[in-house]
Amino acid sequence: MMCFQRAKIFCQCAFLLVSLALTPEHSLAEFNPQLAVMNCKTCHRVENINISMTHHTQLYKTLLAFKYDQRPALLMNRISKGFSDEELKQIALTFTLRDAQ
């Protein structure tokens, strides 16, 4: 049952990201880290992982490790490959600062 829920959440996130990319008023040059972080929260709130307590540089290094297959994962390695290194840096900073407030 848990695998089905994860797959459902992943599909919802993928649909949201694709729909945002296809919307004319959103271009690739207008990356919004707040929207990306909202997608992160769909899974990581459910799993009760407190990523927000991680320092942003550590979170950034972890995201890069997922992107370059240096850390095993079910989905994060695939998701992180969709972002540039700079976008991952912005996501890490936004994610950690958002919950610190």
Using CB atoms within 10 A of its CB, is residue 7 exposed (0-12), middle (13-18) or buried (19+)?
exposed
Please report the pLDDT score of residue 101 as a whole number.
Answer: 46
Please report the pLDDT score of residue 56 as a whole number.
Answer: 87
| Structure confidence by residue, pLDDT tens digits, 15-42 | 666 665 555 554 556 889 988 888 888 8
What are the counts of helices (DSSP H) followed by strands (DSSP E) for the chain? 5, 0
Q: What is the CA radius of gyration of the chain?
A: 13
Those residues whose C-beta lies under 8 Å from the C-beta of residue 40, and which sit 6 or more positions away, are 51, 91, 95
Instruction: Delineate the domains of the chain, giving CATH numbers in brackets.
Output: 2-100 (1.10.760.10)
Please report the pLDDT score of residue 88 as a whole number.
Answer: 94
Which regions in the chain score pLDDT beneath 50?
Answer: 26, 46-48, 100-101
